[in-house]
Homo-oligomer: A and B are copies of this chain.
Amino acid sequence: MHTENADRTDSARTRILDSAERIFVSKGFSGASLRAITSDANVNLAAAHYYFESKQGLFSAVFHRRIEPINEQRLTNLERLLNATGKPDLRQILAAFLRPVLLHSNQGTLEFMAQLTAEPEELIQPLIARGFGHLITRFTVALKLVFPETSELDLNIRFSFVVGAMLQTIFNRSFFMGIGDVSKEVMYQKLLDFCVAGFLNNE
């Protein structure tokens, strides 16, 4: 799928990915047409099929390009944490999960991730399973170290609140940053404070 020379061919391929990402975000999978995407990317309609075979293939490629690096970073953060200290604290674990998204990702990646939750089951389920399954397992195990008395179900429920607050932050960030001077570092701290406090109390 990937050739060794990387100039003109990659730039067309990359332009398609960039345009697709933006249009999938604003219109959703069904609402985005290959015609709109390829026109935006200044390539021929057939190029999309040449590089990605199908619209689903293109969506999948957009997904993996952005989500996998983030989740690898999250796992790296977590492993480093567990190796350094026998029993990490809650804030460190949540930070390992939230930091790569809130601080080290561009807005396009974030909005694509948020958009994912609303796509049809049959489209995203295989992507989620491959991209997030291992991650959630590892974080649940880590959380269990901090809350050995708490059931895994309970930990998963609280963790879903964290995910929800994070996604809402992504959706609204540009909105809030438009109103006041709210940097992404500030948003990150506010979100982390909120989640740590919420997680702890919820015994």
Are A153 and B180 interface neighbours, CB within 8 A?
Answer: yes
- Option from B28, B117, B193, B199 in Cβ contact (under 8 Å) with A202: B193
Are B168 and A160 interface neighbours, CB within 8 A?
Answer: yes
- Option from B26, B179, B195, B199 in Cβ contact (under 8 Å) with A153: B179
Are B28 and A190 interface neighbours, CB within 8 A?
Answer: no
Q: Does A161 contact B (CB under 8 A)?
A: yes
Q: Does A97 contact B (CB under 8 A)?
A: no
Q: Does A1 contact B (CB under 8 A)?
A: no
Task: List CB contacts (< 8 Å) of A116-158 with chain B.
Answer: 117-121, 151, 153-154, 156-158
If over half of A's interface residues share one DSSP class (helix, strand or loop), that class is named, otherwise mixed; here it is helix
Q: Within the oligomer, what is the number of copies of this chain?
A: 2
Nearest B residue (CB) for A32 = B30
Nearest B residue (CB) for A118 = B118
Given contacts A28-B119, A31-B120, contact A196 B187 (CB under 8 A): no
Choose the segment among A4-12, A43-51, A169-177 that binds chain B (4+ C-beta atoms closer than 8 Å): A169-177
Are A197 and B202 interface neighbours, CB within 8 A?
Answer: yes
Nearest B residue (CB) for A167 = B164
Q: Does A191 contact B (CB under 8 A)?
A: yes
Query: Closest Cβ of chain B: how far from A193's Cβ, in Å?
Result: 5
Task: List CB contacts (< 8 Å) of A20-45 with chain B.
Answer: 26-31
Question: Inside 8 A of A182's CB, which chain B residues have their CB?
Answer: 153, 157
Question: Inside 8 A of A166's CB, which chain B residues have their CB?
Answer: 164
Are A163 and B156 interface neighbours, CB within 8 A?
Answer: no
Question: Inside 8 A of A115's CB, which chain B residues have their CB?
Answer: 118
Q: Does A201 contact B (CB under 8 A)?
A: yes
Q: Does A69 contact B (CB under 8 A)?
A: no
6 contacts between A and B (CB under 8 A): A28-B118, A30-B30, A30-B31, A156-B176, A196-B201, A197-B198
For the A-B complex with A157-B187, A197-B200 known, give 4 more contacts whose Cβ atoms are closer than 8 Å: A28-B31, A31-B31, A157-B182, A197-B201
